[in-house]
Amino acid sequence: MEPVKVGLLGLGTVGGGTVTVLSRNAAEIARRAGRGIEISHAAARDYDPERIQGLEAIGRIGSDAFAVVEDPEVQIVVELIGGYSPALELVLRAIENGKHVVTANKALIARHGNEIFAAARERGVMVGFEAAVAGGIPIIKALREGLAANHIEWIAGIINGTGNFILTEMRDKGRDFADVLAEAQALGYAEADPTFDVEGIDAAHKLTILSSLAFGVPLQFERCFTEGISKVGALDVAYAAELGYRIKHLGITRRSEDGIELRVHPTLIPERRLIANVDGVMNAVLVKGDAVGPTLYYGAGAGALPTASAVVADLVDVTRALTTDPNNRVPHLAFQPDELADTPVMPMEAVQTAYYLRLAALDQPGVMARIASILGEQGISIEAIKQKEPEEGQTHVPLVMLTHRVIERQMNEAIARIEALDSVQGEVTRIRMETLSG
Amino acid sequence: MEPVKVGLLGLGTVGGGTVTVLSRNAAEIARRAGRGIEISHAAARDYDPERIQGLEAIGRIGSDAFAVVEDPEVQIVVELIGGYSPALELVLRAIENGKHVVTANKALIARHGNEIFAAARERGVMVGFEAAVAGGIPIIKALREGLAANHIEWIAGIINGTGNFILTEMRDKGRDFADVLAEAQALGYAEADPTFDVEGIDAAHKLTILSSLAFGVPLQFERCFTEGISKVGALDVAYAAELGYRIKHLGITRRSEDGIELRVHPTLIPERRLIANVDGVMNAVLVKGDAVGPTLYYGAGAGALPTASAVVADLVDVTRALTTDPNNRVPHLAFQPDELADTPVMPMEAVQTAYYLRLAALDQPGVMARIASILGEQGISIEAIKQKEPEEGQTHVPLVMLTHRVIERQMNEAIARIEALDSVQGEVTRIRMETLSG
């Protein structure tokens, strides 16, 4: 059978990795897919031919991405440019031309996925985006197909390798956030502008996609609550460890009676949980289904070859499904497009979690009782409270508390009242806490 | 669209679970699959109607399994009887009648899969067996589709929950094998005849399937090396822990220059590895691909609802692919049937691993040197050697060694020579050791 012809947009890290994987494993991939998969036309503005293995197998390399999506020979367009523009225009034009699309662009899918999938449905083409979440881990396939029998209850994922690397180093070496971030930038694990990673925006893009797949709702990135790790202190990491917890930057989405929780924030989790032991740049996603119980998926969440692994898996999927009646294909968001639900995404104020609180209080009789009574008045029960040794020369001592679960609105009020006390110095550090047990 | 009609064989644990999941999550499953999935005809010799939720939704329940596979209305037959006969006859007959098949029967697939898949190919029908390996974890889908871009290098799996429960209890409580086995039987985690689980036969069935999917070779259960956990002592578990290792009953399959390793045996692995921390009845499979690196899949490996989760996922897959040209469907063993390789499965004697050795030696000068020189003569280098305290009243002391990697044949000869020494009492305990690092 004739090889499938692929048009490739972008020859950066992931684009180069895709060329390498398709060339290095060409024979094995064809044995799986039933036919060869060839890049017949690629476009890149700027790339280093010396650093990409397998480049010689590409039919034609130009600099005009629009020429690729207009190329009549191309059956599948692989978009690896990133960003919103011109990626969106290119993807929509490819679909309009009746071409299938594979992309690793999480920002594009999280923000414009609803529009892209509607266009694809209209034209009867497929859009693969396995590489958009957790790199090479086949988590989209797991949610969309492997767990299709389940009522998914919640998902918790470590889905940003940079953030996890920083938190792991902070714990292992007792170092501060800024210090580790600088090292991560030197090692190439973090971008020069680390905002997307450390402020949780990248994780929010990915979580938005996972949430839609799990719960059958449209993509709603703009409703995702996002808090980064820049305010997590070395002290908090150490105190959490003393209490038997690790701090991870988790994306959490959960179905509750009031709607869907969609939130990215630093989270204390019990150190016995497998996901608490996922360290360094690795990713892991924990999914709780009503039938299967908890399942976990672990692997490299970024990098040239791991991400290419997911891109090429999508290419094999599209190749295998080329002859399928479009109405019978696996739906983009796991549920059939006319079966999406309008379950609302809840505001963070309405979400219930447990909390770790740290504050600096005057070491005087009655202070702890005053704080505890504020919490009590707000309906918050305390699971543990620990007064630490004061640092030399300090008039205030660190006070660390774990609370039971409570609505975030109550906690916001409690924190405001505590911060207003004369005996309390500065702000209350608040890190949410989850048991991830069911 | 009309619901898909399913014929169900067996209403035992997994059959009952399948009925429950299909009924409880019917609406959600239909939203994913694009149409309803209904059990129109079931057959069971013996079942408890009180204990199965959703039974009332089944069109017709009889006792004749052959009547189900002959029922013209049935489009997909789900075989949940287990064993070889009449499961094989029923599955082949269903295929002959042009029906798709879904099964959870690992023994049947491991031993008769080649024949079943050939018949299915001939007739243009699908055979799903996600539930045959690791219960609800979608590991077959991950290998066959999610990692389709990769040259798979090796797989190591905890794929028998009973064995893992026993080893976990032995470690946590310092108890002996026989003692924990009796408890596992009382709890219902182990069968009255535990041979299949503790001797590794069940794991070998599953590993055989994973190996074919990974390496594109036919199923070759009869060539799988299998060693159970009944000879692992509480002492070994404790000594391994002192050295920084855990003992797990692993199924390992690896591609080497000389062929394919296919082996199930107790294995020391470094305690820092995520898979070393998979405890109790849980399963996990670690897959190393050349592009994606290591990925791990974790979840419940058995039980009514987790296994039903995989059965129903296969039903959704078949439903989604009903209109696909048979030549374009995902191939049963990941690779196209005429593209299977004849790479040989290696005999265990030719496999290279590291080893943990324990023996009882006379506490006299020169004994340790004699043993070390035998190992040296066989080309085996020692990574660690520890003489333990003798137990009260014993003339011999336990000697524990870790070796570097060596061909098993060399180790067999070394062990025979050491056991022949007058200064050594009884047999040498040998447990293989893997770093699972690359």
How does residue A360 score in pLDDT terms, banded at 50, 70 and 90? very high
How does residue A106 score in pLDDT terms, banded at 50, 70 and 90? very high
What's the rounded Cα separation, in Å, for the pair B275 and B171? Answer: 15
Quote ipTM for the complex.
Answer: 0.94
* Residue in B21, B28, B325 nearest the CB of A323: B325
A-contacting residues of B 123-152, CB under 8 Å? 130, 135-138, 141-142, 144-151
Q: Is the pLDDT of residue B438 over 80?
A: no
Q: Is residue B175 part of a domain?
A: yes
CATH number of the domain at A389, please. 3.30.70.260
pLDDT of A414 reads 98
Catalytic pick among A5, A99, A141, A206 = A206
Query: Are residues A335 and A354 both part of a single domain?
Result: no
Number of domains in chain B: 3
Q: Is residue A184 part of a domain?
A: yes
Find out whether B388 is annotated in a ligand binding site. no
How does residue A63 score in pLDDT terms, banded at 50, 70 and 90? very high
A206 is catalytic: yes
Query: Are residues B21 and B126 both part of a single domain?
Result: yes
Top residue of A1, A6, A24, A31 to mutate, by most chain B CBs within 10 Å, is A31
Query: Are residues B94 and B16 both part of a single domain?
Result: yes
How does residue B391 score in pLDDT terms, banded at 50, 70 and 90? confident
Looking at chain A, the whole-number percentage of residues with pLDDT higher than 70 is: 100
Q: In chain A, how long is the greatest CA-to-CA distance?
A: 83
Query: Are residues B261 and B402 both part of a single domain?
Result: no
pLDDT of B1 reads 81
DSSP string, A390-428: PPTT-SEEEEEEEE--EEHHHHHHHHHHHHT-TTEEEEE
Tokens at residue B322, please?
């009903």
Query: Are residues B162 and B111 both part of a single domain?
Result: no
Q: How many residues does chain B have?
A: 438
Angle at which helices B201-215 and B106-123 cross, to 10°: 40
DSSP string, A158-178: E--HHHHHHHHHHHHH---HH
Burial class (CB in 10 A: 0-12, 13-18, 19+), B167: buried
Across the range A339-356, mean pLDDT stands at 95
Q: Which domain holds residue A232?
A: 144-300
Q: Are the Cβ atoms of A25 and B150 closer than 8 angstroms?
A: yes
The alpha carbon of residue A263 is apart from the nearest alpha carbon of chain B, in Å, by 24
Beta-sheet pairing, B382-387 with B282-289: unpaired
Across the range A30-35, mean pLDDT stands at 94
DSSP state for residue B271 in the 8-state scheme: T
Across the range A382-408, mean pLDDT stands at 91
Query: Are residues A255 and A195 both part of a single domain?
Result: yes
Tokens at residue B214, please?
């990974």
Q: Is residue A151 part of a domain?
A: yes
C-alpha atoms less than 13 angstroms from C-alpha of B431 in its C-beta half-sphere:
27
Phi, psi of A265 (to 5 degrees): -165, 160
CATH number of the domain at B313, please. 3.40.50.720
* Residue in A147, A274, A320 nearest the CB of B313: A147
Query: Are residues B318 and B250 both part of a single domain?
Result: no
What's the rounded Cα separation, in Å, for the pair B323 and A322? Answer: 11
Query: Are residues A166 and A81 both part of a single domain?
Result: no
pLDDT of B325 reads 79
Find out whether B130 is annotated in a ligand binding site. no
Q: Is residue B171 part of a domain?
A: yes
pLDDT of A392 reads 80
Q: Which of A417-421, B378-382, B386-390 has the weakest average pLDDT?
A: B386-390
Chain A CB within 8 Å of residue B263 CB = no
Q: Is the pLDDT of residue B99 over 90?
A: yes
Query: Are residues A183 and A40 both part of a single domain?
Result: no
Query: Are residues A119 and A189 both part of a single domain?
Result: no
pLDDT of A1 reads 81
Q: Is the pLDDT of residue A391 over 80?
A: no
Q: Is residue A228 part of a domain?
A: yes
H helices within B157-248, ranges in order? 161-173, 177-187, 195-198, 201-215, 234-242
pLDDT tens for each residue of A276-295: 999 999 999 999 999 999 99
Question: CA angle, corner B133, sides to B430 and B51, nearest 5?
Answer: 120
Q: Is residue B36 part of a domain?
A: yes
Q: Is residue B231 part of a domain?
A: yes
What's the rounded Cα separation, in Å, for the pair B249 and B284? Answer: 11
pLDDT of A99 reads 98
Across the range A87-112, mean pLDDT stands at 98
B295: chain A residues, CB-CB within 8 Å: 136-138, 297-300
pLDDT tens for each residue of B7-21: 999 999 999 999 999
pLDDT tens for each residue of A199-250: 999 999 999 999 999 999 999 999 999 999 999 999 999 999 999 999 999 9
Nearest CA in chain A to B330: A320
Looking at chain A, the whole-number percentage of residues with pLDDT higher than 90 is: 89
Find out whether B28 is annotated in a ligand binding site. no
Q: Is the pLDDT of residue A147 over 80?
A: yes
Tokens at residue A141, please?
């396939």
CATH number of the domain at B175, please. 3.30.360.10
Q: Is the pLDDT of residue A430 over 80?
A: yes
Q: Is the pLDDT of residue A258 over 80?
A: yes
What's the rounded Cα separation, in Å, for the pair B431 and B246? Answer: 11
pLDDT tens for each residue of B301-358: 999 999 999 999 999 999 998 877 787 788 999 999 889 999 999 999 999 999 999 9
Mean pLDDT of chain B: 95
Q: Is residue A438 part of a domain?
A: no
Across the range B276-283, mean pLDDT stands at 96
Query: Are residues A118 and A219 both part of a single domain?
Result: no
H helices within A25-72, ranges in order? 26-33, 65-70
Q: Which of A85-89, A133-137, A383-387, A393-397 has the weakest average pLDDT?
A: A393-397
Across the range B385-402, mean pLDDT stands at 88
Phi, psi of B238 (to 5 degrees): -70, -45
B278: chain A residues, CB-CB within 8 Å: 274
Q: Is the pLDDT of residue A92 over 80?
A: yes
Across the range B57-83, mean pLDDT stands at 97
pLDDT of A46 reads 87
pLDDT tens for each residue of B22-36: 999 999 999 999 999
pLDDT of B84 reads 96
Query: Are residues A223 and A249 both part of a single domain?
Result: yes
Chain A CB within 8 Å of residue B270 CB = no
Q: Are the Cβ atoms of B328 and A321 closer than 8 angstroms?
A: yes
Q: Is the pLDDT of residue B417 over 80?
A: yes
DSSP string, B410-429: HHHHHHHHHHT-TTEEEEEE
pLDDT of A189 reads 80
Contact A109, A312 (CB under 8 A): no
What's the rounded Cα separation, in Å, for the pair B80 and A377? Answer: 56
